[in-house]
Each structure stands twice: as C-alpha cells, then as structure tokens.
Amino acid sequence: MASRAASGRRNGEERGWLRGSPPPRWVRALPPALLVGVCAAELASRQPLDIGFLLGTIPSLAVLSYGPVATGVFGCVVILLLHVPPLQLNHPGNTDLWTITFIAVLSVFVSLVRSRRDAHLVTVRTVAEAAQLAVLPPLPERVGPLRCAGLYRAAQSETLVGGDFFDVREGPYGVRALMGDVQGHGLSAVGTVASLLGAFREAVLDQRDLEAAAARLDRRLVVDSAGTEHAELFATAVLLEFSASADAVRLVSCGHPHPLLLRGGQAVELDLEPGAPLGIGFFDICPPQGRSVRLEPGDRLFLASDGVTESRDHAGAFYPLADRLAKFAEESPTALIDSVWEDLLRFCTAVRDDVTMLVLTPLRDDDRE
C-alpha cells in the first residue's frame, strides 16, 4: 500500500505487552522455568531449602500469558509437588500448602476473567479498526495520472484516525486531492472527518470548479454545526485538481499549510491566497482564490499537516520542513515520507499532534504504461 494510515503502531509505535499486545515468549516461559528451577535447586542441595513459597508465584505468573485451563494445570502440578517427600517443598508445614492452594484457585478465576475480557476487547478493537478504516481507507498507489504515497499518525493512542484527513479521487473533472485538519483530534474529531470526506467525494463527482468543491465542504460543516450552540466546528484544508495530462495543478487553500513543490532538488512553498477555514461561514463574504501552477517532468507535490510544520525541538524552534525536504528530494516518494518522519522524530522532543504527509507525483504518458 502507498499509504500507511496508522494501521497499528508502526516504526517503534507497537503496543507493549503491558498495553494489550500478546506477552513475549520469556513471560510464557517463566512459570515452567521457575517450576523446574525450584525442583532442581531442592534436589541439588544437601540441606533442605525453604523455597517452597516460590511455587505460589507460578500460578500467578501463568495468569499473564495462559488461559484458565493451563493456569489450573500449573496450580495442580504445584500442589502435587508439595506432597513429594524428597523435595521437602512443604516445609515448614500445612500453612504453605493452604496458602498456595488458595493462590492457585484464585489464579484460575483471574485467568478466566482476563481471557473473557481479552476476547471482548479483540472484538471491540476489530470493529473499531474496521469503522475507522472505512472513514479513512488506505490510499491507492496510483490514481489516474498520479502516483500517491501517504503517511498518517494519529496523536491519540490506539486510534487509526484523528483530526487530520486526506483523500485522492478521480472524477469527471480530473483527479482531485484533499488534505485537511479539523478542530481537535482523536476520536472526538472522527465524525467531522467522516462528514468532510463524504462531502469531498460527492463534490469530486458533482462540482465542476475546485472553488465550488471547497464551498461544498464549508456548507457541510456549517450545516453540521447549525443545531449545536457554540459548536465552533471548523477545519483547515487545501484542495488540488490536476489536469488530464498532469502538466498543471490548480490549488485552493482554506487556511491550511501550503503545499511544497519539489523540483530539481529544491523544495519551494507554493504561494497561495489564503482563504477562510471551513465551517466559519465566511465563504460568501471572502471566497478562496485558486491558483494554477504548471508542472514540469519530475515535479512532485508534498503536503503536510500542522503536526509536521508546528512541531518544535527542545529550544522551541519549529521544524524546518522546506530545508529538510531538500535533503531527501531525490528519494522515492515512500522513502521520502519515511525519511521526513524519522527526521521529525529526531528533531522533536515529542510529537503530540496528528501527523499527515502526502506526496503526489504526476506521471507523464510514457510513465503510465
């Protein structure tokens, strides 16, 4: 896939086993290893060792990675070993036996509860991921005369979609692309993202002009917030429309960071007339002004959200996107995005906002075979 839209936690963002992932192998190996170790130590020692209490930890450790049946088996094995005279594990007496028996029974109950909860969480997570991917599906590698590559990192942990969004669609009036950022981030912004993407996909089919498509998005947010007092629902966005031969692009900015043109190893920010953000009702008063740009062979367009441009280092300096892009300008689109992401992580103390990047590469006729 050309887009890695936050599916799971990639590049060092995988969930740890203490946060929901399956436990590592060493955790599963602890109960049998401890069981063997205690027995071996008792058999190898010339004097009785008062280490039978360690057996009580084995069912508790089994809860972390085994189901109730396996946990029960470990508990039974521990109780049986307490009755093997040569091992002398039940020293000093019945107190250890009853304590470990109680721990074993309690561990089976806890393992049963954990197993059922994990099964429920797997179902919920699967449904949530399917719903979020329906809102922001993976970006195709190619749309019409464009080659596409994108990256999405939601700021809120365990979510695939946040407040940023992008899409590239082919319609009767050419290929159109959208990148935007709604107010807020995380799950609370997903509904607004879904509404805007739906309006954009309709506008790709219905609206002849790019400015009219932007007005459709604005109307969508205005209508959505009309029934809510003090909704303050707004979004920034930039829309692009490519010609059929991909030798020109028209752009409309609605308060979003401007795209950068990669040409000849240089990254130049395109100068656009900034329009009002979507949803605040200013489109009739101050409609956005589009701009057309001629494209040369080898040109690429790089779009990023403010999660990239407004990230800061420890001294408070903003990430110098244009300067860093020039360093990676000769790389392939996918490698370019990966390089910028890794460089951003090195530059910033922490990335706390949604991060979205999109590279659009126009293809000439001889590249489309």
Taking the C-alpha atoms of residue 207 and residue 197, their distance in angstroms, rounded to an integer, is: 15
**What is the reported pLDDT for 352?**
78
**What is the reported pLDDT for 6?**
42
Taking the C-alpha atoms of residue 199 and residue 78, their distance in angstroms, rounded to an integer, is: 63
Q: Is the pTM of this model over 0.85?
A: no
Question: Taking 90 as the threshold, does the pLDDT of residue 10 lie above it?
Answer: no
For the ranges 34-38, 63-67, 123-127, 252-256, the lowest mean pLDDT is seen at 123-127
Taking the C-alpha atoms of residue 220 and residue 230, their distance in angstroms, rounded to an integer, is: 17
Name the average pLDDT for the chain. Answer: 83
- Which H or E element spans position 112? helix 94-135
- Which H or E element spans position 361? strand 355-362
Q: How far is CA 41 from CA 36, 51, 53, 95, 317, in A?
A: 9, 9, 13, 22, 59
**What is the reported pLDDT for 38?**
84
Question: Taking 70 as the threshold, does the pLDDT of residue 187 lie above it?
Answer: no
Averaged pLDDT, 5-25: 55
Q: Quote the radius of gyration of the chain (alpha carbons, Å).
A: 29
